[in-house]
Structure 1
């Protein structure tokens, strides 16, 4: 590992090139560039997930930690790891302070691997508008996680309003095993589904996407039965036109599949590590139309998959916004006092 403290973007590029030459074959064959936007307190968690994903998708990992944008003096610290503790990838962990944090692209752009796709993953609360973050605008694929938001369901609606082809969310990834088991139930029947119910907590974004997916695929309006007995989606119930009922119920890492006239079956339904979920999203770098349909249906919007895939960067200075809010608050306090 090479550590560079209070350095420049040019020095980071030179140090990475030198480390790649030293590593030799370990640093070859990059399939993509993965940009991770994360807070300092969650860097190790993001690195652990990226290490798992890099085992399946060798990549250049660029971790961007932005902090203290109102600091008077800019500072850039960087760690460079090639083929070390982060697995078969080239990793650059950058910590940006001051106004430099608002221009992270000035450091990141020279570090992108030429001629390979760029994926940006926000490991934390996603931005309301991805266009306000240049690291999202430059990416071919953008991964968010609504479960990290204060209000996950509202965050999911924001993702629909802000959607562009190439966007995805880990809440969608987490229902892949559910969708696989539900779809597999119809391998031996052609019965039409007339009713569906999803049993889950009211703030569970995976349940909202499951409801949207069922509605988009089956042309019905599933019911959402709220429950506070379980922290995650608990059950999916389907009723068919021929009278059959199909129920998939999760208990810890197993699911019980019940169907009218058949014996119960116990199937695996394991909650996967974050790195496995990330690796799944890195398998495809084109637009996920099924996700777009499910997201749009869940949010009550249509035509998401027909939107243009490109975004135009919208400059946003959070420091200016905070100062404006502070000024309004101070004015209000003065008015109240007077």
Structure 2
């Protein structure tokens, strides 16, 4: 069910939500958090689709601030989506002028779930300083996506400069499977130190840089980045040890091969992670991701990407 409220107020939106709840169209019980999405109007649907999928694991209220630069009048339009149009959440899309969104905190405050954590997500371009953004100051977790920015690597450096506990980036979340596979391979004998590592992947993909930074931080060894064009994300990681290298290669973005000294070649499914998977993973935790912070601050410096 979709309810449009043109030229409205947050008070009127709250009343409409209560009315829908009374009529049985929306149930607020069981909502575990409020997810605030700050996006350009043209990016709203993709972000809402990902949030709806994630809400099946994390029932939430989704508040979307739809930025519309062409709007010059101080007018607020709202749309409420419940039921089949909102997954396991209730979605409120607020379309406002840039002037109104300058005070975004006062705009969303009446619509927040009481006594529930707040997570804010910027699905595309990130703000100047996420922790100092009006919504960012209210949130326990702040999620960005440097890959979706016009200059991913510059955005990564900005995130490092302004990092505060509670910040995270989906370029880091996309590495979960890689990190798990690499850690598992090092758990196998012989337990030798890694003397050098190499990460190959797309020349502007921030996950390539973050994986290299994580390896440099965790292994305390030199790490080189091999930048490639026309590939998807990370394609290869080599960990050099005295007995021979560990090589994980994923040239097609779907299946990875693992080669270890003295062991047969192994294949494992490793498709590129979808947006909804990454968002859902980040919504599972509301405590700061300390490892991400350490990789930003220490790891990037170790590989000369600070």
TM-score, normalised with respect to structure 1: 0.85
- State the 1:24 CA deviation: 6.6
Q: Distance in 2 between matches of 1:221 and 1:132?
A: 35
- State the 1:131 CA deviation: 4.2
After superposition, the Cα gap between the structure-2 partners of 1:76 and 1:24, relative to the gap in structure 1 and judged at 3 Å, is closer
Partner of 1:63: 64
The answer (yes or no) to whether the contact 2:26–2:90 under 8 Å persists in 1 is no
Partner of 1:150: 150
Partner of 1:259: 260
Alignment of 1:243-258 (within 5 A): 243-250=243-250, 251-258=252-259
The answer (yes or no) to whether the contact 1:69–1:102 under 8 Å persists in 2 is no
Partner of 2:107: 107
Partner of 1:128: 128
Structure 2, unaligned runs of 5 or more: none
Alignment of 1:258-297 (within 5 A): 258-297=259-298
Q: Distance in 1 between matches of 2:179 and 2:258?
A: 13
Partner of 2:163: 163
Partner of 1:182: 182
Deviations 1:309-328 (A, max 9, x none): xxxxxxxxxxxxxxxxxxxx
The answer (yes or no) to whether the contact 1:35–1:62 under 8 Å persists in 2 is yes
Aligned residues between the structures: 299
- State the 1:67 CA deviation: 2.4
Structure 1, unaligned runs of 5 or more: 302-338
The answer (yes or no) to whether the contact 1:172–1:209 under 8 Å persists in 2 is yes
The answer (yes or no) to whether the contact 2:131–2:164 under 8 Å persists in 1 is no
Q: Distance in 1 between matches of 2:262 and 2:91?
A: 55
Q: Distance in 1 between matches of 2:32 and 2:71?
A: 36
Partner of 2:91: 91
Partner of 1:18: 19
Q: Distance in 2 between matches of 1:265 and 1:233?
A: 18
The answer (yes or no) to whether the contact 1:63–1:91 under 8 Å persists in 2 is yes
Q: Distance in 1 between matches of 2:69 and 2:138?
A: 24
Task: Identify which range, 199-208 or 209-218, moves more after superposition.
Answer: 199-208
The answer (yes or no) to whether the contact 1:33–1:118 under 8 Å persists in 2 is yes
Q: Distance in 2 between matches of 1:229 and 1:94?
A: 38
Q: Distance in 2 between matches of 1:252 and 1:231?
A: 6
The answer (yes or no) to whether the contact 1:26–1:88 under 8 Å persists in 2 is no
Deviations 1:69-98 (A, max 9, x none): 872x31101111223312111111110125
Q: Distance in 1 between matches of 2:109 and 2:25?
A: 23
Q: Are 1:173 and 2:177 an aligned pair?
A: no
The answer (yes or no) to whether the contact 1:30–1:58 under 8 Å persists in 2 is yes
